[in-house]
């Protein structure tokens, strides 16, 4: 794949079109457009600027996602869940329900350490309120509020 081509009897050297023939496999011999994103000549789509409408841009972006594991949304969601898990581990430590020590390593973003019983109580209360469908079974919604005011 030649990157440059010389024209005008060797006086001008410029970028060569990167298109390849489907039949012969040879590279296009025309000079590429300066404005082309993909170094193509006008014949091979050098003027194409990609999707223009919002719908087209969204479609293009969606088609370029392979696994979706590292999108901003997925990363944030995972970080929140890890922070919650870590806080649950803190709960076990504070309530002395485990013999292990505090987990080492990087703390996930959004993690706030729970060190007192009150922290644990507020954490549990938060989880109870966030649960979908309210309190079907288990601890009633206002269980932790009793006797706190
Ligand atoms: Zn070409």
Q: What is the pLDDT of residues 45-89, one digit of tens each?
A: 999 999 999 999 999 999 999 999 999 999 999 999 999 999 999
35-51 pLDDT, tens per residue?
999 999 999 999 999 99
5-37 pLDDT, tens per residue?
998 998 999 999 999 999 999 999 999 999 999
CA distance 12 to 2: 15
**Based on the number of CB atoms within 10 Å of its own CB, is 95 exposed (0-12), middle (13-18) or buried (19 or more)?**
exposed
State the distance from the centre of ligand 1 to the C-alpha of 40, rounded, in angstroms.
Answer: 5
* Number of neighbours of residue 110 by Cβ within 10 angstroms: 14
Supply 5's token pair: 């081509």
**What per-residue confidence (pLDDT) applies to 128?**
73
CA distance 1 to 39: 12
* Number of neighbours of residue 14 by Cβ within 10 angstroms: 13
Pair 28, 17: CB distance under 8 Å? yes
pLDDT > 60? residue 134? no
State the distance from the centre of ligand 1 to the C-alpha of 37, rounded, in angstroms.
Answer: 13
State the distance from the centre of ligand 1 to the C-alpha of 58, rounded, in angstroms.
Answer: 28
State the distance from the centre of ligand 1 to the C-alpha of 3, rounded, in angstroms.
Answer: 12
Tell me the average pLDDT across 94-116.
Answer: 90
Pair 142, 148: CB distance under 8 Å? no
**What per-residue confidence (pLDDT) applies to 141?**
58
Q: Near ion ligand 1, which residues have CB within 5 Å?
A: 17, 19, 28, 30, 41, 43-44
State the distance from the centre of ligand 1 to the C-alpha of 45, rounded, in angstroms.
Answer: 8
Torsions phi, psi of 86, nearest 5?
-65, -35
Pair 129, 139: CB distance under 8 Å? no
Higher pLDDT, 130 or 124: 124
* 99: helix, strand or coil: coil
What is the pLDDT confidence band of residue 129, given thresholds at 50, 70 and 90? low
């Amino acid at each position: 794949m030649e990157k440059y081509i010389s024209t005008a009897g060797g006086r001008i050297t410029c970028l060569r079109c990167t298109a390849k023939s489907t039949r012969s496999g040879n590279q296009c011999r025309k000079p590429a457009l300066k404005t082309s994103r993909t170094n193509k000549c006008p014949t091979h789509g050098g003027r194409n600027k990609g999707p223009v409408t919002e719908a087209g841009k969204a479609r293009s972006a969606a088609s370029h996602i392979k696994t979706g594991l590292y999108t901003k949304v997925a990363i944030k969601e995972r970080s929140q869940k890890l922070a919650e898990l870590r806080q649950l581990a803190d709960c076990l430590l504070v309530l002395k329900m485990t013999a292990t020590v505090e987990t080492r390593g990087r703390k996930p973003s959004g993690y706030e350490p729970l060190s007192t019983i009150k922290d644990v109580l507020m954490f549990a209360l938060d989880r109870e309120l966030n649960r979908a469908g309210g309190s079907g079974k288990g601890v009633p919604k206002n269980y932790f509020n009793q006797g706190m005011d």
